[in-house]
Amino acid sequence: MKVGIIGSGIIGLSTAFLIKENHSNVEILIQSDKKNVMVTSYGAAGIFRPDPKLLPGSEYDQDQFNDFIRWCNAGREQYWKLATSWNSSNTGVYFHPTYQLSEYNEFDRPFISKLCGKTVFLDEEERDDTYCYTGKESVILGGFREHLPPVLKRPTTDDDIRVSPESTKDILQRIDSTWHGGLGNSPIVEEWTGLRPFRPSIKLEIEWYQPEITCEPLPIIHNYGHGSMGVALSWGTAIDTLKLFEDVVKSSPNIHT
């Protein structure tokens, strides 16, 4: 059996890994219009920080919110297992203290603190788009957001992902005003920008497609629309995708591709 996966970011790779791990006889083909450094997952900070406020849709019912919590818990368990394993350095998953400077009151505690970790309240002006994540050999400084029109109204262009010197300067200035010590004057190893496609809601469902050249319909499992929470929700939605895949195989055993 062959399975095609469109997308080579954290969502596609998590799904491919789970299917292959549970069905070793399946041949998986991963197709992507972008490679390596052009994939959004390459440039993302890669942190586990789910927050229902970041959900693409503005109106979620209780069932959808319950799915969100379930996906968060699945991701937390998986990343915790990797971070505490002997293979942590190879997978690049590890624990690290993180400081997010925001202004919250005790009734508006950050969502991540409900899942894990400890929250310390600081008397600072909110800076949601400014962050500094340390790695083994460098640090990641950010960030920058620019909302673009829907692709159906205006397709994206190379200019949309071109590094802006003005944006880089703005990030470094915000870093210097937040963390003292001259971090904003450190040598720049790499500059990167990318696109985060948002949709009205996370789409995770089966669609049956009828090709013109064959008589048998083909199942398509949609799993996209995670917005800026790909890392946090990738494992949980991959588990659901695996279940949908297994349901298709059980209900239609004659499907060969």
Query: Is the backbone peptide bond immediately before 143 cis, with ω within 30 degrees of 0?
Result: yes
In the three-class reduction of DSSP (H, G, I as helix; E, B as strand; rest coil), residue 4 is classed as strand
Tally Cβ neighbours within 10 Å of residue 61.
7
Whether residue 257 is contained in a domain is answered as no
Give CA–CA dist 121/104, Å, rounded: 7
- Give residue-wise pLDDT tens across range 148-189: 777 768 777 778 778 888 988 988 888 888 777 778 788 898
Give CA–CA dist 36/93, Å, rounded: 19
Whether residue 256 is contained in a domain is answered as no
Q: Residue 119 pLDDT > 60, yes or no? A: no
230-251 and 10-22 helices, crossing angle to 10°: 40
pLDDT more than 90, % of the chain: 23
Q: Could you give the number of structural domains in the chain? A: 1
Stretch 202-220: mean pLDDT: 84
Whether residue 221 is contained in a domain is answered as yes
Range of the domain at 238: 2-251
CA distance to 27, 47, 81, 236, per residue, from 14 (Å)? 15, 15, 15, 9
Whether residue 147 is contained in a domain is answered as yes
**CATH number, position 32:** 3.40.50.720
Whether residue 185 is contained in a domain is answered as yes
Give the residue among 175, 100, 180 at the shortest CA–CA distance from 142.
Answer: 175
Q: Residue 125 pLDDT > 50, yes or no? A: no
Whether residue 138 is contained in a domain is answered as yes
Whether residue 14 is contained in a domain is answered as yes
Q: Are 221 and 241 in contact (CB under 8 A)?
A: yes
Q: Are 71 and 238 in contact (CB under 8 A)?
A: no
Tally Cβ neighbours within 10 Å of residue 132.
17
Q: When comparing pLDDT for 4 and 147, which is higher? A: 4
Q: How far apart are the first and last CA of the chain?
A: 5
pLDDT computed for residue 102 by the predictor: 52
Nearest 10 degrees: Cα torsion 124, 125, 130, 136: 0
- Confidence band (pLDDT; 50, 70, 90) for 36? low
Give CA–CA dist 195/199, Å, rounded: 13
Tell me what the pLDDT averaged over the chain comes to: 79
- Confidence band (pLDDT; 50, 70, 90) for 127? very low
Whether residue 29 is contained in a domain is answered as yes
